[in-house]
């Protein structure tokens, strides 16, 4: 972590401690945003940190944003933070101008029915916080290119839904809706960016689950001693610690230079780490962890919600494998050792 | 490390390390061209004194050691890069591996000036190989219960005991034996010492043990009234436990813990070609992501060693994850080979041979160098549970 990043981490951790607690998590399951959290984020320029300085941002890197999101993931902070941060950057890169409020973001592989700026029989699945945002951004693939579509929430018919963590993910339909649109570069690069940022959030939640489980194992007593003194519990937590450390190093490598190969690897490795975090942290917690009241599920349900976001774990495994299949036995190792350093095929 | 900061800084590779990587790759290409490195049909570190000689000629044994003892004073990161290149290319480095990885460093850290001057230059020039004399028939994971004794005699020590699973004892020069030099009074880790035994000395009997993979790699070593001089003692009498802990950290932290069967994956990738089923891509992608993560972890551990830290817990994590990964790789390779119809039809004979050997060898990954259960105990202590 560089100096800026240490500063970002301290800042976001302070904000989270002040504004996100049990009440905010509960309210999010009633479709209410943590207002105080987001107003401080906006005030501190964090939602717009990815914008260049001349358009009102601070020119932060995606790696800097990953620091923010790792901490937000650890706190299980609800709301479209990742979406707003990246959507701001999308708006700026495509020349569609800045937005003031929060933004939602989805990626789609095709937009049938879109002609010019008029979109007929439009359908969007799993749109985060569609009722709480100023604009809904859609990154639509056409070949390798991305087309950015910007729409008004009011133009859609909304069927409320939610993800495994209880945060809003809505089904939006419209017989016809007007969108503003512009080309915004390479689709896969934007998907990679979103995926890497989600990885940071997943990592944060998984790290929290490990830490909490270790603490709990040192508090809870059975058979006259702390359960952490039992070798079976120690072995489970040691295994989880390995998963988390491995996932953390590869996510950091991915965040550092946003290389597509490392991002794909991070999402794949993190998939296994998230599964282990869910299984082991709950096992260590016994029935308590299964209650809604106890905080563990706010993290593990986010792991469930996020694990396959912005490209599923299996999608990223296929992407990763394609970087290496077709290589000779002699060329395979150099490709592994140089991964992240070279332009992908 | 504690639960609160389970964190590893990833070091940047220096230009010197990248230059060395290129040199090693050039060396490997030359060896391939000259026919000295045929694609292997077995996994593991081959034992080849000619190859060791060629590696020594380049100054690559004892790379980090002081020049006065035959080293090159290069960094731990450079050594890491060199080793990952050699291992991934299946260069047979087995002859000098233990001496370079742990015996030499233990002597450097705890040995007398005389010992360093005598052994280190011989190791660095590729002429002196070591084996590890820790395990005994009754003492495996519980190493401190060992029974081998070294009794004081005029001018030296008389050693009696039985070592087992001693890899390469039949083809190396010396063993560093762990032996009890005074009775265990109170602390059971006290009174243990490290001694160098010349394997040609009278009273040493090396008997082969054939592994389930059909190979003669390890042995039983019987020590009957073996006399060694005073100079055979390494470090301080009774400090053997601390010294051996340091030695085990060297033993556990290297990339060989996840690269020893790498050739199976590279062979699989080679024969698969570009056109594979989605399920194959998913399994292969998963393996590659674990490999890339392990590599980042190993680099970070090398970075810690470079900074003079002793990454015991981190090394235990790398070995736990790495050895599990290697066993998993064998299972996945086998499944992919059958899904893609590469076995049972003569299409990929080398892959078939590698798979067969790797399956037979794989149970050892999570046992040698300390079992994964023991490693997880160390990790549990590191995260504050013990
Ligand atoms: C290929 C190979 C090469 C080797 N080379 C060498 C060598 O060169 N030199 C050398 O000295 N040794 C060598 N060894 C020996 C190796 O170090 C030991 O096998 C290892 O330390 C385990 O000891 P053990 O085999 O006696 O098993 P045990 O200690 O008897 O263990 C058996 C099982 O019980 C478990 N167990 C034991 N104690 C505990 C505990 N406290 N908590 C939980 N589980 C426990 C173990 O994890 C294991 O699953 C080699 C082994 C192999 C397989």
What is the arithmetic mean of pLDDT over B339-344?
A: 92
Are B151 and B96 in a shared domain?
A: no
The predicted pLDDT at position B212 comes to: 97
Burial of B232 (0-12, 13-18, 19+ CB in 10 A): buried
Are B136 and B123 in a shared domain?
A: no
**Count: domains in chain B:** 3
What is the arithmetic mean of pLDDT over B185-203?
A: 93
The predicted pLDDT at position B167 comes to: 98
% of chain A at pLDDT higher than 90? 94
Q: Which CATH superfamily is domain A188-337 in?
A: Butyryl-CoA Dehydrogenase, subunit A, domain 3 (1.20.140.10)
CA B190 to chain centre: 26
Give the nearest ligand 1 atom to B377 CA: 42
> Mean pLDDT score of chain A, rounded to an integer?
96
Q: Which two tokens stand for residue B52?
A: 């060791």
> What stretch of H or E contains A158?
strand A157-159
DSSP string, A13-43: HHHHHHH-SHHHHHHHTTT---HHHHHHHHH
The predicted pLDDT at position A344 comes to: 44
% of chain B at pLDDT higher than 70? 98
- Model confidence at A343: pLDDT above 90: no
- Model confidence at B163: pLDDT above 90: yes
The predicted pLDDT at position B4 comes to: 47
State the nearest Cα–Cα gap between B104 and chain A, in angstroms. 28
B274 to chain A: closest CA residue: A326
Tell me the pLDDT band of A41, cut-offs 50, 70 and 90: very high
Write out pLDDT tens, residues B89-120. 999 999 999 999 999 999 999 999 999 999 99
Within a 10 A sphere around the Cβ of B22, how many other Cβ atoms?
10
- Model confidence at A345: pLDDT above 70: no
User: Looking at B213, B238, B263, which one is the last position of a domain?
Assistant: B238
Q: For chains A and B, count residue pairs whose Cβ atoms are closer than 8 Å.
A: 176
Nearest to A326 among B273, B278, B290 (CB): B273
What is the arithmetic mean of pLDDT over A302-331?
A: 97
DSSP string, B255-320: THHHHTTHHHHHHHHHHH-S---HHHHHHHHHHHHHHHHHHHHHHHHHHHHHTT---HHHHHHHHH
Residues B216, B180: contact at Cβ < 8 Å?
Answer: no
User: Looking at B74, B93, B128, which one is the last position of a domain?
Assistant: B128
Are B68 and B143 in a shared domain?
A: no
What is the arithmetic mean of pLDDT over A67-92?
A: 98
Measured in degrees and rounded to the nearest 5, phi and psi for residue B208 equal -65, 145
The predicted pLDDT at position A326 comes to: 96
Residues of A in contact with B295 (CB under 8 A): 336-337
Write out pLDDT tens, residues A228-258. 999 999 999 999 999 999 999 999 999 998 9
Write out pLDDT tens, residues B176-193. 999 999 987 778 899 999
Q: Which residues pair with A158 in a beta bridge?
A: A172
Any idea what the CATH number is for the domain that residue B122 is in? 1.10.540.10
For chain A, which residues make up each domain, given as ranges? 188-337
% of chain A at pLDDT higher than 70? 99
Are B136 and B102 in a shared domain?
A: no
The predicted pLDDT at position B6 comes to: 67
Is there a domain that residue B190 lies in?
yes
What is the arithmetic mean of pLDDT over A288-310?
A: 97
Rounded to the nearest whole angstrom, what is the distance from the C-alpha of residue B129 to the centroid of ligand 1? Answer: 23
Residues B180, B148: contact at Cβ < 8 Å?
Answer: yes
The predicted pLDDT at position A18 comes to: 98
Residues of A in contact with B384 (CB under 8 A): 214, 218
Q: Which of B132, B135, B194, B358 has the most ligand 1 atoms within 8 A of CB, as the residue to mutate? A: B135
Overall size of chain A counted in residues: 345
Write out pLDDT tens, residues B256-297. 999 998 999 999 999 999 999 999 999 999 999 999 999 999
Are B228 and B284 in a shared domain?
A: no
The predicted pLDDT at position B263 comes to: 97
The predicted pLDDT at position B5 comes to: 56
Any idea what the CATH number is for the domain that residue B303 is in? 1.20.140.10
State the nearest Cα–Cα gap between B359 and chain A, in angstroms. 20
Q: Which of B144, B216, B368 has the most ligand 1 atoms within 8 A of CB, as the residue to mutate? A: B368
Is there a domain that residue B246 lies in?
no
What is the arithmetic mean of pLDDT over A268-279?
A: 98
B194/B158 Cα distance (integer angstroms) = 13
Mutation test of the interface with chain B: which of A225, A244, A307, A332, choosing the one with the most B Cβ atoms within 10 A?
Answer: A332
Among residues B48, B55, B51, which one has the least CA distance to residue B24? B55
Tell me the pLDDT band of A224, cut-offs 50, 70 and 90: very high
Predicted TM-score of the model (pTM): 0.96
Are B114 and B142 in a shared domain?
A: no
Is there a domain that residue B244 lies in?
no
Residues B301, B295: contact at Cβ < 8 Å?
Answer: no
Contact A321 B272 (CB under 8 A): no
The predicted pLDDT at position A98 comes to: 83
The predicted pLDDT at position B2 comes to: 52
- Model confidence at B144: pLDDT above 80: yes
Residues ≥6 apart with Cβ < 8 Å to B163: B133, B134, B135, B136, B148, B169, B175, B177, B220, B221, B223
Residues B196, B234: contact at Cβ < 8 Å?
Answer: yes
Segments forming the whole domain that contains residue B177: 132-238
Contact A317 B286 (CB under 8 A): yes
- Model confidence at B155: pLDDT above 70: yes
A339 to chain B: closest CA residue: B292
> Mean pLDDT score of chain B, rounded to an integer?
95
Tell me the pLDDT band of A342, cut-offs 50, 70 and 90: low
In this structure, is the dihedral angle defined by the CA atoms of residues B151, B157, B161 and B166, taken in order, positive or negative?
Answer: positive
What is the arithmetic mean of pLDDT over A21-45?
A: 97
Give the nearest ligand 1 atom to B167 CA: 8
The predicted pLDDT at position B1 comes to: 43
> What stretch of H or E contains A45?
none
């Amino acid at each position: 972590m560089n100096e800026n990043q240490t500063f970002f981490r301290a800042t976001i951790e302070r904000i989270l401690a002040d504004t996100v607690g049990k009440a905010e998590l509960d309210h999010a399951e009633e479709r209410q945003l943590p207002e105080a959290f987001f107003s401080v984020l906006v005030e501190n320029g964090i939602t717009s940190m990815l914008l260049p300085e001349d358009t009102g941002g601070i020119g932060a890197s995606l790696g800097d944003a990953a620091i923010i999101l790792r901490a937000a993931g650890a706190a299980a902070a609800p709301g479209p933070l990742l979406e707003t941060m990246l959507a701001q950057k999308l708006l700026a890169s495509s020349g569609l101008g800045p937005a003031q409020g929060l933004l939602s973001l989805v990626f789609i592989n095709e937009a049938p029915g879109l002609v010019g700026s008029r979109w007929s029989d439009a359908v969007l699945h799993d749109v985060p916080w569609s009722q709480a945002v100023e604009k809904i951004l859609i990154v639509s693939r056409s070949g390798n290119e991305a087309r950015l579509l910007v729409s008004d929430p009011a133009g859609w018919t909304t069927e409320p839904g939610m993800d495994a963590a209880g945060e809003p993910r809505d089904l939006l339909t419209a017989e016809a809706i007007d969108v503003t649109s512009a080309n915004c570069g390479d689709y896969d690069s934007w998907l990679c960016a979103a995926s890497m940022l989600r990885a940071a959030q997943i990592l944060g939640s998984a790290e929290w689950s490990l830490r909490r489980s270790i603490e709990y194992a040192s508090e809870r007593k059975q058979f006259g001693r702390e359960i952490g003194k039992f070798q079976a519990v120690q072995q489970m937590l040691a295994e989880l610690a390995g998963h988390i450390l491995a996932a953390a190093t590869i996510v950091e490598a991915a965040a550092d230079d946003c290389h597509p190969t490392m991002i794909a690897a991070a999402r794949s490795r993190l998939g296994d780490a998230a599964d282990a975090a869910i299984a082991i942290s709950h096992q260590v917690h016994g029935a308590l962890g299964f209650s809604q009241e106890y905080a563990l599920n706010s993290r593990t349900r986010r792991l469930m919600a996020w694990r396959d976001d912005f490209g599923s774990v299996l999608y990223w495994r296929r992407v990763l494998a394609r970087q290496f299949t077709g290589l000779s036995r002699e060329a395979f190792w150099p490709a592994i050792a140089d991964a992240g350093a070279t332009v992908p095929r | 490390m504690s639960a609160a900061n389970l964190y590893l800084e990833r070091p940047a590779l220096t230009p010197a390390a990248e230059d060395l990587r290129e040199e090693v790759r050039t060396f490997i290409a030359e060896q391939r061209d000259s026919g000295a490195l045929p694609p292997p049909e077995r996994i593991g570190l081959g034992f080849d004194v000619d190859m060791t000689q060629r590696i020594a000629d380049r100054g690559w044994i004892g790379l980090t050691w002081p020049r006065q003892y035959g080293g090159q004073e290069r960094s731990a990161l450079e050594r890491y890069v060199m080793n990952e290149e050699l291992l991934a290319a299946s260069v047979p480095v087995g002859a000098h591996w233990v001496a370079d990885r742990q015996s030499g460093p233990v002597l450097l850290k705890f040995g007398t000036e005389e010992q360093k001057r005598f052994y280190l230059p011989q190791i660095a020039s590729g002429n002196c190989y070591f084996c590890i004399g820790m395990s005994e028939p009754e003492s495996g994971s519980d190493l401190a219960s060992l029974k081998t004794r070294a009794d004081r005699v005029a001018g030296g020590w008389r050693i009696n005991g039985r070592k087992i699973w001693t890899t390469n004892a039949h083809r190396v020069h010396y063993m560093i034996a762990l032996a009890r030099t005074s009775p265990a009074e109170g602390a059971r880790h006290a009174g243990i010492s490290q001694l160098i035994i010349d394997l040609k000395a009278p009273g040493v009997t090396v008997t082969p043990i054939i592994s389930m993979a059909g190979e003669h790699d390890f042995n039983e070593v019987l020590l009957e009234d073996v006399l060694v001089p005073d100079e055979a003692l390494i470090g301080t009498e009774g400090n053997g436990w601390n010294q051996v802990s340091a030695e085990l950290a060297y033993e556990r932290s290297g990339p060989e813990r996840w690269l020893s069967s790498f050739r199976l994956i590279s062979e699989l990738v080679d024969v698969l070609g570009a056109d594979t089923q989605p399920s194959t891509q998913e399994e292969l992608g998963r393996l590659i992501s674990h490999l890339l993560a392990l590599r980042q972890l190993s680099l970070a551990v090398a970075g810690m060693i470079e900074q003079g830290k002793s990454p015991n817990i981190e090394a235990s994590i790398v070995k736990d994850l790495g050895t599990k990964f290697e066993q998993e790789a064998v299972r996945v390779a086998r499944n992919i080979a059958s899904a893609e119809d590469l076995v049972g039809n003569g299409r990929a004979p080398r892959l078939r041979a590698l798979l067969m050997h790797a399956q037979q060898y794989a149970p050892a990954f999570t046992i040698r160098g300390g079992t994964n259960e023991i490693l997880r105990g160390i990790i549990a202590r590191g995260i504050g549970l013990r």
